[in-house]
A and B are shown apart, each in its own frame.
Chain A
Amino acid sequence: MARFDIARFGAEIFRASPRQADLMIVSGTVTKKMAPILVTLYEQMPSPKWVIAMGNCAISGGPFVFKGQYNLVEGVDLLVPVDVYVPGCPPRPEGLLEGLMKLEEKITGTRRFPGPESKW
């Protein structure tokens, strides 16, 4: 059986066109060559629209930030507004699911499942 199954929440329909998308998940490093395309894609989406920065690379450039780097956008939030950050390199599937839950919480104001318990 599928283990993580995002389809449970009705998020499995695959739409290849940004015109029919609600959520952009930036799941990798954003390079300077990709940046204008990413912005175009975001602008092609009809509002209301959301962005998840998935992984350290998309959040801040992650491990690829070093002195003398010439091709990296250090965080997708420099280009488009980001709603939820999912850390990890790469994030686990549970992390992405939690990110989606978080986004849902942000939109609706209520949380579907009890969140992970905080022990600290």
Chain B
Amino acid sequence: MCDTIINIVNIVGKEVVRTVVGLIGVFIVVIGNAIMLTWAERKVAGHMQRRIGPKEVGPFGLIQSFADSVKLLGKELLTPANVERPLYFLAPTLIFVPVLVTFVVIPFDGFLQVKDINVGILVILAFSSLTVLSILIAGWGSNNKYSLIGAVRSVAQNIAYEIPLLLSLLPIIFMANSFSLRDVVEAQKGLWFVFYQPVAFLIFFVASVAETNRTPFDLPEAESELVAGFHTEYSGMRFSLFFLAEYTNMFIVSAIAVTFFLGGYQGPILPGVVWFFMKTYVLVFVLLWFRWTFPRVRFDQLLNFSWKILIPVSFLNLLVTGGILKL
């Protein structure tokens, strides 16, 4: 048994096997993470609202999210009559691409990384822009006014916030002298970058909340205004793909924040992967906390905040960092 596996590995090549195994692992992590996060969100929401959240299905309601996923699988796949069919079908699939690709380059551990690409961060940023494309397609293809408004909002919002997001990562790349995520983590052996770059961290975190469409920046799916925003017309499994992508995106932005600012998988005693997940979930918790604390900002306020505050400040930060590094 063992021999055959080794033989196959030798024939196909180590890298390919690593990628395939990695992708399967990523799939498991993505789905497991999304299910756990929905549970966590409901529990956090519950406790913040003087409730206890789900508790009847399974211990501490842990089975609840699984039950819900199974239910979603069993729902009818309803296709409304007037949708733009190719686009309507494409959108939920497309939103999953950036989610999967991004996971490939994230270093969970010194060893646990599907593939270390020397332009890792560029891959992440490039592919994460696909999210907004699929939201636009979903909104356009749904042939629904609420969906369209949500999609248009999403585009304006993501363009506005992608810039500070990128600009806040650049100083780190200067300091680590590499685009590779593992190199960035290794460069934080001594002191985490968050202590060198607190401003960049704040900007990154704010921008990433906006990128993931979470409260207070959840305008594309603002319930009280746009019913359900861009996914108003989606039901069953198609809807749950959007849902899955949203929760995975939360994990991804938190993971990038951890990688770039909080020392990634580094930490004493415990294995790296434990540290990585712990740090990531602390940030995810902060995202959940935001959602159940803040009301939503208005659209013009949202854009003003990015163009008039975040972008100038991050440019300034970049300039100062560049200057100091040159000296």
Touch between A and B in complex, CB under 8 Å? yes
Using a CB–CB cutoff of 8 Å, the interface residues on chain A facing chain B are 1-2, 5, 7-10, 12-17, 19-20, 22, 44, 46-48, 112
CB <8 Å contact, A48 and B74: yes
State which of B46, B64, B228 has its C-beta within 8 Å of the C-beta of A17: B228
Q: Is the Cβ of A10 less than 8 Å from the Cβ of B232? A: no
Please, how many angstroms separate the alpha-carbon atoms of A46 and B80 in the complex? 10
- Quick check: B46 and A7 within 8 Å, CB to CB? yes
- 25 A-B pairs within 8 Å (CB atoms) are namely A1-B50, A5-B51, A7-B42, A7-B54, A8-B52, A8-B56, A10-B54, A10-B56, A10-B61, A12-B42, A12-B45, A14-B223, A16-B223, A16-B227, A17-B231, A17-B232, A19-B78, A19-B80, A19-B234, A19-B239, A22-B75, A46-B75, A46-B235, A48-B76, A112-B56
The CA of A112 and the CA of B51, in the complex, are separated in Å by 21
Which B residues lie within 8 Å of A12 (CB)? Answer: 42, 45-46, 51, 53-54
Most chain B CB within 10 A, of A13, A16, A22, A48, is at A16
- Contact A1 B51, beta carbon cutoff 8 Å: yes
Whether the pair B239, A20 counts as a contact (CB closer than 8 A) is: yes
Chain B residues whose CB sits within 8 angstroms of the CB of A10 once the complex forms: 42, 54, 56-57, 61, 64, 67-68
Residues of B within 8 A of A (CB): 42, 45-46, 49-57, 61, 64, 67-68, 71, 74-78, 80, 223, 227-228, 231-236, 239
Contact B228 A15 (CB under 8 A): yes
Most chain B CB within 10 A, of A12, A19, A112, is at A19
Residues in B with CB closer than 8 Å to A48 are 74-76
Q: Are A9 and B56 in contact (CB under 8 A)?
A: yes
Majority-rule SS of A interface residues: loop
| A13–B235 CA distance with the chains assembled, in angstroms | 15
Q: How far is the CB of A56 from chain B (nearest CB, A)?
A: 29
Question: Which of B52, B71, B75, B76 contacts A7, CB < 8 Å?
Answer: B52
Q: How far is the CA of A13 from the CA of B233 in the complex (A)?
A: 17
* Chain A, residue nearest B55 (CB): A8
Q: Are B228 and A2 in contact (CB under 8 A)?
A: no
Set B51, B75, B77, B231: member contacting A2, Cβ < 8 A: B51
Interchain CB contact under 8 A, B235 and A19: yes
Per a CB cutoff under 8 Å, which of B42, B51, B67, B76 touches A13?
B42
Residues in B with CB closer than 8 Å to A15 are 228
CB distance from B207 to the nearest CB of A (A): 27
Tell me which residues across on chain A come within 8 A of B71, comparing CB atoms: 22
**Shortest CB distance B234–A (Å):** 6
- B218 → chain A closest CB, angstroms: 13
What CA separation (Å) do A5 and B233 show in the bound complex? 29
Chain B: which residue is nearest A13 at the CB level?
B42
| A47–B235 CA distance with the chains assembled, in angstroms | 10
Beta-carbon nearest neighbor of A112 in chain B? B56
Give the residues in chain B near A2, CB-CB below 8 Å: 49-51
Contact of A19 among B42, B45, B53, B232 (CB under 8 A): B232
Looking across the interface, which residue of chain A has its beta carbon closest to that of B222? A16
